[in-house]
Amino acid sequence: SNKMAAPMTYTRMLLLFRNIGAKPAVTGAFCWKSVPELAPRQQVRHASRKFNTRRPYMPMHIWKHKVLEFTKYKKIKDTRPLAEKCELIQVRQQQIEDSKPHPMDVYYSEEVRRIFQNNPVIAVFHENSPSVEETKNLRRRVRRIGMDAEYFSHEALDLALAGSQFENIRPLLAGPHVLVYSKERRIKELIQTTKRLTSFMLLGGLVYDRLMTWKDLDVYSQLPTIDVLQAMTAALLNTAVSQTHTLLQSNQSQLVRNLQQWNTQREG
C-alpha cells in the first residue's frame, strides 16, 4: 500500500485488544504475530515521485518574516577613527601619561627649550632613511652657512613643547626629523644648500615665532634683508616728507616769483 498507517496510540491499542478479547501484557516482550491488526506496515512510494530537495521547508509567512526582521538586532556602526578604536593605542597613551619621564629626556628637554628660545629661525627636515655619511654631509653643509643641526627624541620634544608657545610646531615633529636652527636669517642659503639632498626634505619651521610651511619659507627667502627693508621704508618716508614740504611751499614760491617779475617789468 502507498499509504502509511495511522500512528498507534495507547488508547487505540487498548481498543484493539478489547475487540479481539486479549489482554495486554504488563511485562515481557510483546508479540506482533498474536495481533494481526498491529502488524507493522511499510511505506511504499512510486518510483516516479521525487522528494523536493531544493525547497524542503515550507515558505515563511510574510508577517512572520517582517516581525523577525523588525526584531533582529542591528549593531550600531562605530564611526570613530581607527586610531581611537585601537585599544592598544589607548593603553599605550595611558601608560605614557602614568609613567615618570626618564632623566635623560628631562635633560634633553631643557636643551630643546634653550634652542627654541634663543634661535628665532628653526627649520624642520624629514629624514628619508639617510645613511651615516648623508647625515654628516647635512651637518657640514649647514655649519658652513652658520647654522646647526640636531636630533632629539619625541619624548624630550613632548616634555619641552607641551604647553609652551612653540606647541604648534609639534605636528611637524611627528616622524623622523632633524632640527636646523640659527640666530640669523639664513633661509635662502639653507634652501640652496639642502635642495640637492634627497634624504632630507624640508617640511617647515618657525621664523620669529611664526609657523611656516616649506612654501612660505621659499617665499620668505626671496624677500630682501631687514636692513634693505628698513632703508626702503626710510626712503619712502623721506620722499613723502619732502613732497609734503614742497606742496606747502608751492604757493609762497609762486607769489615770490610773480612779484619779482612784476618789479622787473616796472623798472624797465
Q: In 3D, which of 17, 6, 75 has the Cα closest to residue 41? A: 6
Residue 195 contacts residue 123 (beta carbons within 8 Å): no
**Cα 171 → chain centroid:** 11
pLDDT for residue 124: 93
Q: Where does residue 139 rank: exposed (0-12), middle (13-18), buried (19+ CB within 10 A)?
A: middle
pLDDT tens, residue order, the chain (268 aa): 444 445 556 566 656 555 554 444 444 444 545 545 545 555 555 555 565 666 656 677 888 888 888 888 888 888 888 777 777 777 877 777 777 788 888 899 999 999 999 999 999 999 988 888 999 999 999 999 989 999 898 889 988 988 888 888 988 888 888 999 998 888 888 998 888 888 899 999 999 888 999 898 988 888 887 788 888 888 888 777 777 767 777 778 888 888 888 888 877 6
Quote the CA–CA distance of 158 and 99 in Å, as a whole number: 14
Residue 181 contacts residue 117 (beta carbons within 8 Å): no
- What value, to the nearest 5°, has the Cα angle with vertex 142 and ends 224 and 131? 140
Quote the CA–CA distance of 76 and 73 in Å, as a whole number: 9
Q: Partners of 15 in the beta sheet?
A: none
